């Protein structure tokens, strides 16, 4: 298809799912999340479209949607991106608008908005190429991949020459690893049992079910009450046995000393990692927590940009890097983070869950395996069994492994009916909620009922 085709419109939707009704997604910092997406569609003159989104947990999704809309002048009228050069130029333009960048810089709402549009552009380009994003990326030369990365602020830790050497070192095994991925999938772990709002019986049942479904790692939310966490972790450990890994996640709840005290108390249950023990901006705090107690440290879902990831790695503050497909400025910046992690030899275990994050981040992890790190050691993608039925190309997880996507694009496209039903505040689901409990119950969709009930 001709590359002279242009982007004709940028369409934004405020889409929200009332997951707080069943406490799905609840944790110590976020007790009542409504999984939401500020959803963007790039339309082209040819009729092709690219889909992307930012994930939020309800209020503020309208702010996110407005920020995405503010990027329209940078996108509409430009040639539809098709090549690495096109995608690099678009990423640069969206993240270097000086007046919008001032609102960050390169973090927060404006940066996430840029990421949503960048990801939609990757969906468009990969769809037009007839490849899933992970394969589209892995089909690029090392030089093309290098051109996608903004090395400003990184060169003290990772130079372009070092990055190119990493990419070239992974070239020989690309085809073999891609075939292995198609045949065997990518390791997954599940957070489905561990939401803080679930009672003990549900925790135990879902933990056992996770093991029966082939997962060798689960994750529990912690941080609200230490005695409760000791009890819940004991229940989980008894439910899954000694060989299954149990990670725990505090969702930024603690100060440094509190994190050390809390994790020292939980250490006898052999947690695989403690995730987000403190502020995602506190590099030295993470380093102190890592040094002050025996449980490995993971973070990343709220880390604002490549610079903070760089510092976490430089400071020896993390044992696991957790990229998020919709937190930083899209595929391009996540490629920078993957390269940083490879340079420092730290495994990447992506954050997912939410709405659509599993769909997106599987592509990044699989590309990392094929063309960057070349390794599955210590790696797994988070999986949460929520809301996948709203996507036209939902994740496929079986026997505890993500199955490689084979449809073209970024797996980001929502079904039109789902967009219409969950449009906020005037979609049928939200009109029903506004009408009162009886009507609200009547209009609850299959996706909003308790998981595994």
Residues marked active site are found at 221, 351
How far CA 19 is from CA of 31, 35, 201, 248, 392, in Å, comes to 11, 6, 20, 21, 20
Number of helices (H), then strands (E), belonging to the chain: the values are: 19, 12
**Tokens matching residue 224:** 């609200």
**Tokens matching residue 29:** 């910092």
> In Å, how far from its chain's centre is CA 389?
18
- Cβ-Cβ contacts under 8 Å for 163 (sequence gap 6 or more): 146, 149, 151, 339, 343
| Neighbour order of strands in the sheet with 36-44 | 7-16, 36-44, 49-56
Backbone φ/ψ region at 58: left (φ over 0), alpha (ψ -120 to 50), beta: left
What are the φ/ψ torsions at residue 284 (nearest 5 degrees)? -70, -30
Cα–Cα dist 219/357, whole Å: 17
Is the Cβ–Cβ distance between 369 and 376 less than 8 Å? yes
Cα–Cα dist 63/12, whole Å: 12
Return the bridge partners of 245, or none: 217
Residue for token digits 């944790």?
A: 27
- Cβ-Cβ contacts under 8 Å for 218 (sequence gap 6 or more): 189, 190, 191, 192, 193, 194, 207, 210, 211, 236, 240, 244, 245, 246, 247
Q: E strand or H helix at 340, and its extent? A: helix 330-344
Cα–Cα dist 132/122, whole Å: 10
Looking only at the bridges linking them, the beta strands covering 49-56 and 186-194 are unpaired
Cα–Cα dist 279/285, whole Å: 8
| Helix (H/G/I), strand (E/B), else coil: 102 | coil
Cα–Cα dist 381/185, whole Å: 11
What are the φ/ψ torsions at residue 50 (nearest 5 degrees)? -115, 140
């Amino acid at each position: 298809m001709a590359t002279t085709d242009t982007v004709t419109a940028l369409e934004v939707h405020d889409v929200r799912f009332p997951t707080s009704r069943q406490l799905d997604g609840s944790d110590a910092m976020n007790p009542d999340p409504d999984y939401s997406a500020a959803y963007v569609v790039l339309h082209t003159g040819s009729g092709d479209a690219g889909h992307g989104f930012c994930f939020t947990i309800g209020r503020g999704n309208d702010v996110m949607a407005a920020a995405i809309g503010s990027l329209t002048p940078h996108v509409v009228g430009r040639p539809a991106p098709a090549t690495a050069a096109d995608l690099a130029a678009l990423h640069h333009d969206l993240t270097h608008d000086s007046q919008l960048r001032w609102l960050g810089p390169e973090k927060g709402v404006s940066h996430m908005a840029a990421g949503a549009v960048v990801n939609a552009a990757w969906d468009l380009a990969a769809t037009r190429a007839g490849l899933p994003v992970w394969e589209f990326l892995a089909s690029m030369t090392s030089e093309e991949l290098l051109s996608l990365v903004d090395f400003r602020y990184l060169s003290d830790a990772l130079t372009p020459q070092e990055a190119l050497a990493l990419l070239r070192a992974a070239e020989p095994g690309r085809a073999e690893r891609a075939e292995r991925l198609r045949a065997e999938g990518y390791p997954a772990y599940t957070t489905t049992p561990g939401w803080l709002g679930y009672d003990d019986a549900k925790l135990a049942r879902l933990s056992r079910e996770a093991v029966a479904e082939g997962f060798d790692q689960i994750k529990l939310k912690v941080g609200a009450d230490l005695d409760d966490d000791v009890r819940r972790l004991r229940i989980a450990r008894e439910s899954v046995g000694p060989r299954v890994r149990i990670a725990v996640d505090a969702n930024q709840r603690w100060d440094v000393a509190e994190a050390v005290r809390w994790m020292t108390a939980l250490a006898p249950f052999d947690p695989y990692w403690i995730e987000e023990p403190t502020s995602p901006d506190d590099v030295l705090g993470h380093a102190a927590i890592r040094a002050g107690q025996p449980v490995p440290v993971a973070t990343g879902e709220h880390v604002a940009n490549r610079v903070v990831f760089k510092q976490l790695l430089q400071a020896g503050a993390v044992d696991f890097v957790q990229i998020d497909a919709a937190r930083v400025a899209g595929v391009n910046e996540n490629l920078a983070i993957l390269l940083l992690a490879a340079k420092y030899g730290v495994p990447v275990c992506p954050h997912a869950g939410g709405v659509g994050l599993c769909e997106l981040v599987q592509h990044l992890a699989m590309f990392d395996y094929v063309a960057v790190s070349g390794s599955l050691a210590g790696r797994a993608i988070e999986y949460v069994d929520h809301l996948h039925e709203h996507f036209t190309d939902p994740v496929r997880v079986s026997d505890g492994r993500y199955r490689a996507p084979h449809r073209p694009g970024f797996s980001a496209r929502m079904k039109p009916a789902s967009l219409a039903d969950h449009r906020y505040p005037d979609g049928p689901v939200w009109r029903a909620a506004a009408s009162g409990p009886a009507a609200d119950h009547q209009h609850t969709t299959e996706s909003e009922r308790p998981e595994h009930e």
